[in-house]
Chains A and B, each alone.
Chain A
Amino acid sequence: MSRPTPIPTPTEQPFYDACQRGELLLQHCDHCEHVVFYPRTHCDACQGDALSWLPASGEGTIATYTVVRRGVSADFPAPYIIALIDLAEGPRMMSQIIDADPETVSSGLSVTVDFESWSDSIRLPVFRLL
């Protein structure tokens, strides 16, 4: 067993390629300027199919979070912190808050992106308290 690891589709590949080099990319709709996450073929605001990859700031705030006390499997030693992050550009994403004392985490705190290896070819965005 190991942690579940994405096998990127061609649409998603630019996102994971950027993660691999330590950069967070988000799709911006050429038609309505909506910022899209997760990666898609169509904008989830206007259904337009022209989306451009642009670098994100990597800054965000914690919308909500939980300290998982019973891990989903042996690959996830508890406790660990799962949060929904509101990115500065608008989209919300699920991630982990790493290297934080659970007692110091609360909603509304500012966080910044980092990247952690999930496999030889996949790094995923995680977040640290600012």
Chain B
Amino acid sequence: MRGQFALTGMAESAVGVVPDKSPRELCVEVTLNAVKDAGLTLADCDGLITCNAFAEPILYHAEAVAEYLGWQPRHCVTVNTGGGTTFMAINMAAAAIAAGMADTIVVAMADSLRSFMTRDQAMVVQSSSGHPHYEQPYGPTVPAYYALIARAHMDRFGTTEAQFAEAAVSCRAWANQHPKAQKRELITVDDVLQSRPIADPLKVLDCSLVSDGGAAVVITRRALAQEGPHKPIYILGYGEGHAYEHISQAKDLTTSAAVLAGDAAYAAAGLTPEQIDLMQLYDCFTPALLIQLEDLGFCRKGEGGEFLASGVTRPGGSKPLNTHGGMLSHCHPGNPGAMFGLTEAMLQMRGAAQDRQLADIQTTLCHAQGGIMSSHATLILGVEETL
């Protein structure tokens, strides 16, 4: 599969607080814009994969989006596995093309947790990922689930709250250079430590944003990828890891199935962590980012805190991470959150990331996860020269 499929179009909606469009309308908008970005029309595309929206659930979501556009794609399916959905959907698109079910597929996701739900509704909906009989009755919040992981990492490896805070500081420094990011003002480790306690040891600045927004990409076979206006971005490798659904069933709280996802993706791509130019990881909470850095081999297990505190992930550093600002600072509209890590990777590899453009990004590792570090998907991308 290495190099056989390419991302040729991308689009992002406005993000943050976007009250003037429903989630479905945002999904429609980014679908059309991604197709246009690929130099195509809807008639040139024959597949649509979407993810359902918490703020506007639809039983057959992808069909509803296609219907809205008066489009009858040959392949049309809704996926829903939480945050990991993003890259699982990319892999499903590639697999569908390989199986002859479509030639050119749009993967589009949007949700409006900020403007189309109350804060309390958003909180309850997200915490419903807990087991209804053996977790939810005790009142865990999503930050609380991640706090359990954070505490375990502190107990086992001596990781500090200040080291978790470094993840938020790094992402904010990148968002500061992104004109569309929801939160752009620079923050310090002290700002994070002094911010409102949510679930010890996590403070509000350790937690990702609650946002509106959507993004879409177009994926096609290599033979068709050369015709578009932009540099095709090739899929070099993909992998998944699935350990459990509920955090109380985790066998290991400090090492996740990102190890499995990463190993599979590196093997498929024929690359090592040292050969990755850009990391776009899933920063729903600062400890999740820290553990992924370890599990994906960017530093050794237990040394994620020191890695972040060294500053290498910040602007100017040798290991750029989440250059759009991540879900901690750019936006987090729920399930679509990781889409923006993917579209940012495409911009950086095209050389179109404006003020935050890095020099010569040939490979990017994108990682997403669903549940409470439960299911993982790793996608490794490369430009033509890497094939």
Q: Is A120 positioned at the interface, with any CB of B under 8 Å from its CB?
A: no
Contact check, A38 vs B138: say whether CB atoms are below 8 A apart: no
On whether the beta carbons of A71 and B139 are closer than 8 Å, the reply is yes
B136: CB under 8 A from chain A?
Answer: yes
Interface segment, one of B58-66, B192-200, B342-350: B192-200
Residues of A near B155 (CB, < 8 A) are: 64, 107-108
Distance between Cα atoms of A72 and B130 in the complex (Å): 12
- Which one of A68, A69, A94 has the greatest number of beta carbons of chain B within 10 Å? A94
B137-182 interface with A by 8 A CB criterion:
137-141, 143-144, 147-149, 151-152, 155
Residues in A neighbouring B131, C-beta threshold 8 A: 38, 94
Check A31 for interface membership: any CB of B closer than 8 A.
no
A67 and B200 contacting across the interface, CB-CB below 8 Å: yes
Give the residues in chain A near B140, CB-CB below 8 Å.
Answer: 68, 72, 82, 94
Does A102 count as interface, using CB distance less than 8 angstroms?
Answer: yes
Q: Is the pair B199, A70 in contact by a Cβ cutoff of 8 Å?
A: yes
In the complex the two chains form, is A4's CB within 8 Å of B197's CB? no
Q: How far is the CA of A128 from the CA of B139 in the complex (A)?
A: 17
Q: Is the CB of A64 within 8 A of B139?
A: no
A104 within 8 A of B: no
Instruction: Contact check, B133 vs A82: say whether CB atoms are below 8 A apart.
Output: no
Interface size on A, residues (CB 8 A): 35
Q: How far is the CA of A94 from the CA of B120 in the complex (A)?
A: 23
Which residue of chain A has the shortest Cβ distance to B198 in the bound complex? Answer: A70
Q: What total count of A-B pairs have CB within 8 Å?
A: 102
Instruction: Write out the residue numbers on chain B whose beta carbons fall within 8 Å of the beta carbon of A6.
Output: 132-134, 137
**A129 interface residue per 8 A CB criterion:** no
Least distance between A105 CB and chain B CB atoms (Å): 10
For A66, give the chain B residue with the smallest CB separation: B147
Cβ of B335 < 8 Å from any Cβ of A? no
Chain A neighbourhood of B272, CB < 8 A: none
Contact A80 B152 (CB under 8 A): no
Decide: A3 and B120 in contact? CB cutoff 8 A: no
Nearest CB of A to B144, in Å: 5
CB contacts under 8 Å to B, within A64-98, are 64-73, 75-76, 80, 82-84, 92-96
**Once the chains bind, are B133 and A12 in contact (CB under 8 Å)?**
yes
Contact A102 B200 (CB under 8 A): yes
Complex alpha-carbon distance, A73 and B152, angstroms: 25
Chain A residue contacts of B248, Cβ below 8 A: 84, 92-94
Q: Please give me the 4 A-B residue pairs with the lowest Cβ-Cβ distance, nearest first.
A: A66-B147, A76-B139, A6-B133, A94-B248
Q: What would be 9 A-B contacts, judged by CB atoms less than 8 Å apart?
A: A12-B133, A38-B133, A64-B155, A65-B151, A66-B199, A67-B200, A69-B199, A96-B138, A107-B155
Other CB < 8 Å A-B pairs besides A65-B151, A69-B199, A82-B148, 17 of them?
A6-B137, A38-B131, A38-B133, A64-B149, A65-B148, A66-B147, A66-B202, A69-B196, A69-B197, A69-B198, A72-B123, A84-B253, A92-B249, A102-B200, A107-B151, A107-B155, A124-B137
